[in-house]
Amino acid sequence: DTGVSQNPRHKITKRGQNVTFRCDPISEHNRLYWYRQTLGQGPEFLTYFQNEAQLEKSRLLSDRFSAERPKGSFSTLEIQRTEQGDSAMYLCASSPGWAANNYNEQFFGPGTRLTVL
Amino acid sequence: SQQGEEDPQALSIQEGENATMNCSYKTSINNLQWYRQNSGRGLVHLILIRSNEREKHSGRLRVTLDTSKKSSSLLITASRAADTASYFCVCGMGGSNYKLTFGKGTLLTVNP
């Protein structure tokens, strides 16, 4: 399967612990995105990479959150000192580096469901 | 991208019936995409319609766009239980559409 993959699929942690999620995008895609989704809501944009450069971070991304894409391939999202409000589904998506005809179809991974106790 | 608002919030139909969901938006768009999310296949792009198009088909899906009313509709014909999912519209503004803005979606339940 050459789609976007995310690991782990589920993570349960205690409040105050640090967690790290990994995303492997479709191999030829230059752009990588992180979204967060809570129950009953649509996904909310967190951050975006073009190759290894992080080009935008949402205000939702507090200083406890950090994302990296060191070699322009896979990405990690780390949450430090987790809080119960961080419980959500964390989705990763990727897209080609070019936007044909000015639109941007994104390919989503299955997500990592985080539960903070 | 700007946030579209899907309507209704929830829709329940019987297998074989048609399902129609709507999307409204506030400012001019370059294109509009529909995504589907279910537990089986996750979040998947369904179809895109550009601002100079009025109607587009893909299999059992039909999308219309009325730029004068700033609205779009997604019609699923001959629905199946596997169509049970949340459906989101995402409006593209043109330029670098790198950020998708989702609304709350329409939760469609197709009963066998």
State the maximum Cα–Cα separation within chain A, in Å, rounded to a whole number.
46
Instruction: Give me the residue from A35, A48, A111 closest to B98, CB to CB.
Output: A48
Other Cβ atoms less than 10 A from the Cβ of A81: the count is 11
d(CA A33, CA A23): 10
**What is the arithmetic mean of pLDDT over B38-52?**
90
- Tell me which of A27-31, B69-73, B97-101, B108-112 is least confident: B97-101
Whether the ω angle into residue A96 lies within 30 degrees of 0, i.e. cis, is no
Longest CA pairwise span in chain B (Å): 43
H or E stretch including A49? strand A44-50
Distance from CA of B45 to the nearest CA of A (A): 7
Whether B48 and B32 have beta carbons less than 8 Å apart is answered as yes
Does B42 contact A110 at a Cβ distance shorter than 8 Å? yes
CA distance B85 to B35: 10
Residue B84 burial (CB count, 10 A): 20
Per-residue pLDDT of chain A (117 residues; tens, 9 = 90+): 579 999 999 999 999 999 999 999 999 889 999 999 999 999 999 999 999 999 888 888 889 999 999 988 999 999 999 999 999 999 999 988 665 544 678 899 999 999 999
Does the structure show a pLDDT above 60 at B41? yes
Whether B94 contacts chain A with CB within 8 A: yes
- Percent pLDDT > 70 in chain B is 96
Contacts of B44 (CB under 8 A, 6+ apart): A108, B35, B36, B37
CB pair distance less than 8 Å for A102 and B31: yes
For residue A45, give the nearest of B88, B92, B100 by CB distance.
B100
> In this complex, is the C-beta atom of B102 within 8 Å of any C-beta atom belonging to chain A?
yes
Q: Which of B98, B99, B103 sits opposite A42 (nearest CB)?
A: B103
